[in-house]
Amino acid sequence: AAHPGDTVALRHLQMSPLAARGTLPSADDLPLRMLGSLQAHGFADTLRQWGAALGDLDAFGRQRLRELLAAAEAFDARGVCDADAFADHVAAYQVKSSAEAGAVRVMTVHQAKGLGFDLVVVPFAPNAKSFGKPGAPPFLAGGDWVLDAPRRAVLEVAGGAPLQALETAAAEANFSQLCTLYVALTRARQALVMAVPARGKSSKTIREADLLRDRLATEGLSAALPDGAGRLLYEAGDRGWHQRARAPEPTPAARAAAPEPLPLAYAVELARHEPSKEQEAGRAFPARWLFSAEAGDVRAFGSAIHRLFERIEWLETADLEAVIADWRRTAPESARLLDDVERQFRHCLASDAVRRALSRPAGAPRAEVWREAPFELVLETPEGPQLASGRFDRVVVERDTDGRPVRATVFDYKSNRIETEADMRATAEGYAFQMRLYARAAARLLNLDPARVTPLLLFTRKGWILPG
């Protein structure tokens, strides 16, 4: 779209399943139509339409499409419509999350590379690959030959370069095993717990667990762990670190004599705020929120139900069955997850409060609704001007007979796993900072007194609405 003369990209598209299904416009019309779609709908919706045109994908393809759409949604939230910038964004986008506070992560060693956590638990499998037999390579290669590797016994009889290549491959595999072990054991900042299986009575193989047991097990230390969890073979450091850990006390910055200011002109880079990714410091997370799951993929669930609510302008004029059918037709998620989302959506709409919230406001001469509207603006804060960017889930704007805005209501959909009113209020406290910024942003955009903007949290699981 940004480079109509890029014939390599064009040929790539023409050889893709999109061309086979007849969904691609002509080469002359493609750039203009693509740019128009990006401007009108954003990258995520445009790519979602393309993804729906691909037809039935396998599990891996669906996962990759979800990840691409997640990257596109993050880019759209910046309010930028630049194809080159989007390409750079996708190239730099990482699926793995950062080591966020208040979260328990279950991940592979490779996913954990580069991250750090206060507490790390590393379980070792009893049937892991051994150092003696790390697995046969798919093929062996020398300076000018490649060999589909036969059994080791055959190579040992033959000897020569193929056997040397096999031994080199085994050494490289062992080195890779040690590198993986190093990554696993260096992610912890405060505490590392290694769960090592008991060694088999007749086992002669050497695995990572055997290496740790032989090198670390302290003679005479074999204390029983609580609840039959096993026996303690090695311990070093402070087991009670978490009881003494305290947040560092803020220290006033040293105030040196300020030199005379230089008459320099420069543009200050504004600090960026993304309210939806921030929370008030010190908020605790109940354990059940960390370990429970909604159809196995909380993030995909939230994205899907947001897209479903986005399709409703005014509830009283919406054909819900057509809305749901069209949403399902273009959704990349699994049928099981979509069933869960639809079930929650219908249950939510059974609430009178939700139906009123999604209906045209009574008594307003004129009203309009913004759905999934990105914003980016500079807000004055005690720390100075900051750039706030985000996306309104739903904003209902009431106007007078002259078209001037007189009132606005900002809705933010939350699909959190809440069960009680106490859960809801505790969750709402965590979103208070986000909702205050959203309300300020709406007031600025509409030139309204902030007191005339009402932020509301709509909890889709229970159909509850609470002031933000």
Smallest Cα–Cα separation from 362: which of 308, 311, 407, 402?
407
- Spatial neighbors of 33 by CB under 8 A, at least 6 apart, are 25
Identity of the residue numbered 31 = P
Q: Where along the chain do its domains lie?
A: 7-92, 109-220, 271-467
Segment (H or E) for 13: helix 7-14
Q: Tens-digit pLDDT profile for the chain (468 aa)? A: 778 878 888 888 888 877 776 667 777 788 888 888 888 888 998 888 888 887 778 877 888 888 888 889 888 887 788 888 888 888 888 765 555 566 677 888 887 877 888 888 988 888 788 887 777 777 777 777 787 777 777 777 777 887 788 788 888 888 888 888 888 888 888 888 888 888 777 777 888 888 888 888 766 667 777 777 777 888 888 888 888 766 656 555 545 555 566 555 545 555 655 555 555 444 544 544 444 444 346 778 888 999 999 999 999 999 999 999 999 988 888 888 899 999 999 999 999 999 999 999 988 899 999 998 888 888 777 777 777 778 899 999 999 999 899 999 999 999 888 888 888 888 888 888 889 889 999 999 999 999 999 999 999 999 999 987
Q: What pLDDT does 261 receive?
A: 63
Q: What pLDDT does 187 receive?
A: 87
Q: What pLDDT does 319 receive?
A: 94
- The answer to whether the Cα torsion of 411, 417, 423, 429 is positive or negative is negative
387 token code pair: 């750039």
Q: What pLDDT does 289 receive?
A: 46
Nearest-angstrom CA–CA distance, 430 and 285: 10
Smallest Cα–Cα separation from 403: which of 460, 457, 359, 446?
446
Query: C-alpha 211: how far from its chain's center?
Result: 36
- The answer to whether the Cα torsion of 295, 301, 302, 308 is positive or negative is negative
| 81 touches 2 (CB < 8 A) | no
Q: Which CATH number among 3.40.1440.10, 3.90.320.10, 3.30.420.10, 3.40.50.300 corresponds to the domain 271-467? A: 3.90.320.10
* Strands annotated E in 153-216: 188-195
Q: How far is CA 307 from CA 71, 303, 411, in A?
A: 15, 6, 14
Q: What pLDDT does 100 receive?
A: 56
